[in-house]
Structure 1
Amino acid sequence: MKFENNYAFAKAQDEKDPLSSFRNRFYIPVDSDNNELIYLCGNSLGCQPKSVASYIEQELNDWADLGVEGHFDAENPWMPYHEKLAKPMADIVGAKPSEVVIMNTLTTNLHLMMVSFYNPTPDRHKIIIESDAFPSDKYAVESQIRQRGYDPSDSLLLWQPRAGEELCRLEDLEALVNEHGDSVALLLIGNTNYYSGQFYPVKEITALGHKNGSKVGFDLAHGVGNIMPDLHDNGPDFAVWCTYKYLNSGPGSLGGCFVHERHHKDKNIQRFTGWWGQNKDTRFNMRKGFDPIPTAEGWQLSNPPILSMAAVRASLDIFAEAGMKNIRAKSEKLTGYLEFLINDLNNDDIKIITPSDPKQRGCQLSIQVKNADRSLHDKLTKAGVISDWREPDVIRVAPAPLYNSYEDVFEMVERLKKILKYN
């Protein structure tokens, strides 16, 4: 597509956008005068679907009217409620429904997965993560290493950009794996980096790890709902994610988990267990030994929080209607337009560090600010543009295809242009 730097072009793109009507399905945050803000922060917290209230209200009403019998007699019975989420979630991440479960929160699920897939030995105990992984991932990995009796200074390896560069190169990860060889137990990669916006290739990284005899897992927190990881076909051992960013399920909402089907029937695999992972036929017998469900559900611990799941279900129903291929196609165009407009500013004080190849990024573009002190971001916020700031010098901007428009992107850059002019 050939982009143009004018309002008429942006408006024309919105008029022919097949997903444009989905914007009306979300509440867009407003300012004190009730004017819609330009909300470009779906990488931190997605906008609320207007349907969420009715989905939750249904469960509140059934709880009030039925009490405990709602587990079986509610409009959407609570006992199998989580099963309703498996298919739409699997379609988003490219998995089989049996490989996906919505449960817990992201870092809890990461710990659970590491119990199963990080099995260190004196000869093979190292974990590779990207050097600028999201802090929670780094904390979780370090604690798992210590819990198993090893030292992160020896067992934690960092895949990092070359000197003077912002992005990680796949060939450097390959060199790191080859250098440490059989001592690498796990590759745990953030999939889409929270800071740079770089999308790391799932297929190639999985193949690299498995060739080395290592397990491979991904944190999809900043990728799920905006990139297509094709988890089943690409074959990582596990993946985890949250649902409150691009999946719009509300602050602190539930996480998701993928376990490849090749692991489902392995009853010898180590795991932390709870009664909701128990064979459904004997779950209420209460006195049976643990017999895991032979799907990703076998990693569940407790019965699910229905009110939170109702919010997840409301958003997943919208995703199912819109279709991930359509969402991804619009995302590439939106970020492409944003990139074009930012570059057209020709301002030496800012640059985009996210890869220019749309196949190597998700919804987010990371704008690096020269001599940064956060003031540019604060002025942008005051001008009615909601993005976010990450130390030391990046403004993260994430146009979400379901509710952001080309006009949003155009207007954001127009306001940025005025700020830079008078800065």
Structure 2
Amino acid sequence: MAADLYTSLSNEFIVPTNKDIGATARKDGENPCTYLCGNSLGLLSKTSSTLVQEELHAWGTRAVTGHFSHPQNRPWTKCCEPLYPLLGELAGANEIEVACMGTLTNNLHLMMDSFYKPTVTRYKILCEAKAFPSDQYAFTSQALARGLDPATAIIEISPREGEFTLREEDILETIDKEGDSIALVIFSGIQYYTGQWFPIESITKKAHEKGCICGWDLAHAVGNVPLSLHAWNVDFAVWCTYKYVNSGPGGIAGLFIHEKWHETEKPKFAGWWGHELATRFDMPPTFSPIKGAQGFQQSNPSAITVASLLGSLRVFKAAGMMKSVRERSLLLTAALEKMLKASKYFVSPSPQREKETKPGFTIITPSEPSQRGAQLSLLFFPLGSETMRTVFAYLSANGVIGDEREPDVIRLAPAPLYNTLKDCEHAAEILEKALESVA
């Protein structure tokens, strides 16, 4: 298996060259860079590129008639239909429970508007203190829209002093303690900053025990870790698809609504694309929604972004879906972690980390594989110094592409579909040299 890690799981992906990404310190400009940023934007697959080109051709040769007559038999009126079985498999859901539509935050607002139903006594939202900013904006605005003060309506859980991630028992204890006043429990499947994989099943179960609705933002989880949204009884979930699912910048998003809600939670903000297809183009005056999650669609989706997502999902299917992806991810991330911890600049996590004065780093992502996906978040010392920025610039100049999070974190994510053990080795080597240049 170790030898297999030097070969990509899929040869479908187009990796930018060192020259193209501006690796000025590299002399091999035509060689592929070391791309460890799939947690932010996945790479383009050849299949996605082909399908997008086909849509552009269909647009050019069929124009409006492409809605019903398509050269590749993907009429735009039905362009999302091939996605549903693949999205369902990726999310651990039934086809009727998933939809392909809009953007992540737009979908989050739609779901919260349906499922966040505060009363006089049960009105709070429980989330992690450092949720992705767009989520925090959404929580705040949803509370304000209902005449509530976010300062009292939103409960934010923080890690214990001296720790980087949340403990499962602390989350469950908070739900137990505050549950009678909580209307909605909503967390990230995987925390964007630390890379922590929250225990979705146990949190959802505890939330339901206390009478709360439980929803999830799976932006960093979908296509990264195995999901079983239906079996876990998740009420709703939303996600983008341009990270580990590789649908392209700003790619069309997805959502999940458990089928237990399909008879009682109907779309509140109806749009014609959520109307049943059989009569949609008859333009009837009364909305007749598609049963399930797809009834929440509003406007017609971009056939181009749908094609890009379809291409990537076909690559997932050919690679064995999440079983194969996760098996490889466990090996790659563990290998990268081992290499990083072997560095002379690695510092074990400690409550005294603020006092570090020498250049170095620690890993704030959980070391336990069941509590993380592909991503490792590196915290650089001294805190608040220029160490992280200097290291990040050195990595980039040498063709190692991760992403920085101010003020002191660099995230590296060996995406199992296209990254290899060689990528991990090169990243660890260049990181060591970067810290030597700082020291």
Q: Give the TM-score normalised by the residue count of structure 1.
A: 0.94
Please say if 1:393 is aligned against 2:384. no
Q: Check whether the contact 2:376–2:413 (CA below 8 A) recurs between aligned residues.
A: yes
Q: How does 1:326-337 map to 2 (within 5 A)?
A: 326-337=324-335
Show the counterpart of 2:23. none
Give the superposition deviation at 1:235: 1.0
Q: Check whether the contact 2:9–2:319 (CA below 8 A) recurs between aligned residues.
A: no
Structure 1 Cα separation of the partners of residues 155 and 132 of structure 2: 15
The letter for the 2-side match of 1:78 is W
Secondary structure at the residue paired with 1:282? helix
Show the counterpart of 1:414. 429
Q: Check whether the contact 1:107–1:137 (CA below 8 A) recurs between aligned residues.
A: yes
* Among 19, 26, 30, the residue aligned to 1:34: 30
Secondary structure at the residue paired with 2:16? coil
Structure 2 Cα separation of the partners of residues 170 and 145 of structure 1: 26
The letter for the 1-side match of 2:376 is L
Q: How does 1:121-136 map to 2 (within 5 A)?
A: 121-136=119-134
Unaligned 5+ segments in structure 2 are: 20-28, 348-359
Q: Check whether the contact 2:58–2:66 (CA below 8 A) recurs between aligned residues.
A: yes
Q: Check whether the contact 2:364–2:376 (CA below 8 A) recurs between aligned residues.
A: yes
Secondary structure at the residue paired with 1:157? strand
Structure 1 Cα separation of the partners of residues 107 and 45 of structure 2: 25
Q: How does 1:363-402 map to 2 (within 5 A)?
A: 363-372=374-383, 373=386, 374-402=389-417
Show the counterpart of 2:372. 361
Give the superposition deviation at 1:288: 3.6
Question: How far does the alpha carbon of each residue in 1:181-206 deviate from its partner, in whole angstroms, 9 at most, with x for none?
Answer: 22100011011000000000110011
Structure 1 Cα separation of the partners of residues 254 and 47 of structure 2: 21
Structure 1 residues 21 and 330, CA, compared in 2 at 3 Å: closer, same or farther?
closer
* Among 158, 161, 165, the residue aligned to 1:160: 158
Identity %: 45
Structure 2 Cα separation of the partners of residues 66 and 418 of structure 1: 55
Structure 1 Cα separation of the partners of residues 59 and 433 of structure 2: 53
User: Which of 393-402 and 32-41 deviates more?
Assistant: 32-41
Structure 1 residues 56 and 13, CA, compared in 2 at 3 Å: closer, same or farther?
closer
Give the superposition deviation at 1:13: 4.2
Show the counterpart of 1:404. 419
Structure 1 residues 355 and 21, CA, compared in 2 at 3 Å: closer, same or farther?
closer
Structure 1 Cα separation of the partners of residues 16 and 63 of structure 2: 35
Structure 2 Cα separation of the partners of residues 21 and 89 of structure 1: 20
Q: Check whether the contact 1:282–1:288 (CA below 8 A) recurs between aligned residues.
A: no
Show the counterpart of 1:243. 241
Structure 1 residues 98 and 272, CA, compared in 2 at 3 Å: closer, same or farther?
same
* Among 304, 307, 315, the residue aligned to 1:307: 304
Show the counterpart of 1:53. 49
Structure 2 Cα separation of the partners of residues 393 and 128 of structure 1: 27
Q: Check whether the contact 1:130–1:158 (CA below 8 A) recurs between aligned residues.
A: yes
* Among 294, 297, 318, the residue aligned to 2:294: 297
Secondary structure at the residue paired with 2:76? coil
The letter for the 2-side match of 1:302 is S
Q: Check whether the contact 1:109–1:240 (CA below 8 A) recurs between aligned residues.
A: yes
Q: Check whether the contact 1:26–1:48 (CA below 8 A) recurs between aligned residues.
A: yes
Give the superposition deviation at 1:419: 2.0
Unaligned 5+ segments in structure 1 are: 2-9
Structure 1 Cα separation of the partners of residues 47 and 281 of structure 2: 34
Q: Check whether the contact 2:259–2:292 (CA below 8 A) recurs between aligned residues.
A: yes
Q: How does 1:83-102 map to 2 (within 5 A)?
A: 83-102=81-100
Q: CA RMSD in A?
A: 1.5
Structure 1 Cα separation of the partners of residues 331 and 426 of structure 2: 16
Show the counterpart of 1:4. none
User: Which of 270-279 and 93-102 deviates more?
Assistant: 270-279
Show the counterpart of 2:25. none
Question: How far does the alpha carbon of each residue in 1:277-301 deviate from its partner, in whole angstroms, 9 at most, with x for none?
Answer: 1233332332342222111101111
Please say if 1:72 is aligned against 2:68. yes
Secondary structure at the residue paired with 2:281? helix
Show the counterpart of 2:318. 321
Q: How does 1:139-150 map to 2 (within 5 A)?
A: 139-150=137-148
* Among 341, 344, 348, the residue aligned to 1:343: 341
Give the superposition deviation at 1:351: 1.0
Give the superposition deviation at 1:21: 5.1
The letter for the 2-side match of 1:239 is A
Q: Check whether the contact 1:355–1:361 (CA below 8 A) recurs between aligned residues.
A: yes
Show the counterpart of 1:264. 262
Secondary structure at the residue paired with 1:233? coil
The letter for the 1-side match of 2:5 is D
Structure 1 Cα separation of the partners of residues 49 and 226 of structure 2: 28
Show the counterpart of 2:5. 14
Q: Give the TM-score normalised by the residue count of structure 2.
A: 0.90
The letter for the 2-side match of 1:410 is E
Structure 2 Cα separation of the partners of residues 30 and 359 of structure 1: 33
Secondary structure at the residue paired with 1:44? coil
Q: Check whether the contact 1:275–1:283 (CA below 8 A) recurs between aligned residues.
A: yes
